[in-house]
Amino acid sequence: MKKMKKRKIPKLNLIPIMDAVFIFIFFLLLSAQFLDIHEIIAEAPAVATFNEQINKKEPLNLVIEISKGEILVKTGLDAKLFKKIENGERGLDQLYIAMIDLKSKNIEENSVIIRPKKSLPYTQIVTIMEMVRRVRTEKEEITGTGSKGQIIKSKTLFDKIIFDSVM
């Protein structure tokens, strides 16, 4: 039988890798922000005048009035009541369904005016802003017909939030 020779396994030189990892760790430690911060963009109301009517279709003019007990969804220039929803967890689902319904009928519209009552807590306003901005999951998509008859697909609902901030 042949004698098997013991082959020595060469040792890896880990020093350069360790140096790089150390530098990387220091960089990450210094730039780390342990609070996971995100933003929701909104705008102040702006007034604009048009000399001629661009679109024959009446604008959606979506307004959401929020109080502690209920959420009122109004549409149109005459602020017609579209839906009255109870403010609560179930109400939020209903609001989301109403937003999807409105978006599919008005696929090119993207703005919503939010009008909360003065006593409403900020956290509830944020929750409602979430509901009206975009679809809940990546897979969801809303399809509608544009003004020129073309099919438009969208993952956003009404992401241009305007606050009724005038006191």
Partner 1 sequence: MKSLYQKNKSMKFKKEPLDVDITSLLDILVILLVFLLRSYNATDLKLEVAKNIELPNSKSEDLGSHAIIIQLNQKDEIYINQKMIGTFSISDGKILSLFSQLITMKAETPEAYSKARSPAQQDSPTPRKVNLVFHKELTYDKIQAVLHTATLAGYSKFKFIVQGNGG
Nearest-approach distance from CB 124 to partner 1, in angstroms: 9
CA distances from 129 to 61, 64, 126 (A): 16, 10, 5
Binding piece for partner 1, criterion CB under 8 A, among 24-32, 75-83, 89-97, 98-106: 24-32
SS3 115: strand
Q: Which member of 1, 12, 14, 77 binds partner 1 (CB under 8 A)? A: 14
Per-residue binder mask for partner 1 (CB under 8 A), 32-71, x = binder: xxxxxxxxxxxxx-x-------------------------
Binding piece for partner 1, criterion CB under 8 A, among 49-57, 96-104, 116-124, 149-157: 116-124
163 binds partner 1 (CB under 8 A): yes
CA distances from 115 to 27, 72, 95 (A): 44, 10, 15
Cβ distance 109 to 158 under 8 Å?
yes
Q: Which positions ≥6 away from 50 have C-beta within 8 Å?
A: none
R_g (Cα) of the chain, nearest Å: 27
Distance CA 62, CA 110 (A): 9
Binding piece for partner 1, criterion CB under 8 A, among 2-10, 29-37, 79-87, 101-109: 29-37
Nearest-approach distance from CB 81 to partner 1, in angstroms: 21
* Angle between helices 122-133 and 89-105 in degrees, nearest 10: 40
Binding piece for partner 1, criterion CB under 8 A, among 53-61, 79-87, 98-106, 117-125: 117-125
Residue numbers at the binding site for partner 1 (CB under 8 A): 14, 18, 21-22, 24-25, 28-29, 31-44, 46, 116-123, 125-127, 129-130, 133, 163, 165-167
